[in-house]
Structure 1
């Protein structure tokens, strides 16, 4: 069962990462201005990381990382061949690498929230006793 949840985490992250990446690049999310300047839209990549971390049984950081890295070549290929590229390949690769960072950061935030929730529950149990 744990192996099944391992792959669910990777596949969910890969799918959600691809959707957010292609949505960002096509202009579906945020502005249609095609300039890479301090975009807050990169924060949307936190969501696939958090969901994949929640769906993974163990290796809650590795699954979102692998999912994002598996989706990255597909996203860059779709962006390069089917969508009109506005930047060089290296600029797109830098943008995609920062997207992977934010995805893994989302997984870390989910782990942090989970540990805070466990600590809160333990303190609450001690107060009841």
Structure 2
């Protein structure tokens, strides 16, 4: 069962990361300007990391990281060959690497939220006794 959830976390992060990356590059989310000016659209990458972390049984940081790293070459290839890149390859790689960072940050936020929820539940149980 844990192996299934391990792969579920990786696959969900792979798919969601790819959708968000390609959606941003095509202008689906935010502006159609393809220049990267430190836009807040990178914060959307928190969502795939948080969802993948929640769906993983153990290794809640490793699954989103692996899913994002597996999606990264695919997204860069699609961006380079099918979408007209307006930036150099190194700028695109820097943007994609920061997207991986935000994805893993989303997984850390989910871990923090789950830990906080677990602590609050324990405090609530102690007060009931």
TM-score (norm 2): 0.99
**Pairwise CA distance, 1:35:** 1.7
Aligned residue in 2 for 1:108: 108
CA distance in 2, matches of 1:57, 1:35: 38
**Pairwise CA distance, 1:38:** 1.8
Q: Cα RMSD over matched residues?
A: 0.5
Structure 1 unmatched ranges of 5 or more? none
1:33-81 superposed Cα distances (whole Å, 9 cap, x missing partner): 2221120000000000000000000000000000000000000000000
Aligned residue in 2 for 1:89: 89
**Pairwise CA distance, 1:106:** 0.2
- 1:67-78 aligned at under 5 Å gives the runs 67-78=67-78
Number of matched pairs: 129
TM-score (norm 1): 0.99
Structure 1 runs of 4+ aligned residues shifted over 3 Å read none
CA distance in 2, matches of 1:77, 1:35: 18
- 1:1-129 aligned at under 5 Å gives the runs 1-129=1-129
Structure 2 unmatched ranges of 5 or more? none
